[in-house]
Amino acid sequence: MQTFETDLDLTEIINGEEILGPSPFFKHQDIVGNLYDIIRHHVKTYKLGKVLLSPLDIIFEEGVNRLQPDILFIKKENMSIAQDWIRGVPDMVCEIISSGSYEMDTAVKKAVYEKYRVPEYWIVMPELQTIEILTIVGNKYRLHSIAALEGTVTSKVIEGLQVDIKDIFE
């Protein structure tokens, strides 16, 4: 298996299969930027940990599952997983869904995140102007917070974080 030693590699390994994703569209990047700014400001203000952007590998299991969520958060007490890449389970991951990534992000990647018990998974659906926040309960994800078109979502993992979705999709 080839090891990638580059700053920009959009290849993920999901269940042992290498998958090369497309580069994101403008709207996708705009939404990522809006959400990142809000989460990062909150996390920095309250010194809760680190918020990071893709492409950055999360290596759950070498050669088996290496994913690149759009945004991830690591609590300050869990920063030991931040090495050359992220080696372990972050506290939150977020995927921005595009029309071509719906099944991959809401089924395939969700199952991987669930398998490794990522505490919180944000699913952002631009076309529906919806954000769903799922949290691990037992061994399965359950809906924790949702907002569509208007309203706020609340994180369980990032203490005190509430996001007005109008600030994300404007």
Give me the residue spans of the domains in the chain.
Answer: 11-169
56-100 confidence digits (pLDDT tens): 999 999 888 899 999 999 999 999 999 889 999 999 999 999 878
Q: What pLDDT score does 9 carry? A: 66
Work out the average pLDDT over 130-153: 97
Domain spanning 11-169, CATH architecture: Alpha-Beta Complex (3.90)
Q: Please give the Cα distance from 145 to 135 (Å, whole number).
A: 9
Average pLDDT, the chain: 91
Quote the distance between the C-alpha of residue 145 and its chain's center.
Answer: 15
Alpha-carbon separation of residue 143 from 61, 87, 100, 134, 168 (angstroms): 26, 26, 23, 5, 20
* Bigger pLDDT: 5 vs 133: 133
Work out the average pLDDT over 111-136: 97
Q: What pLDDT score does 2 carry? A: 46
Indicate yes or no: pTM above 0.75: yes
Q: Please give the Cα distance from 144 to 49 (Å, whole number).
A: 21
Q: What pLDDT score does 4 carry? A: 43
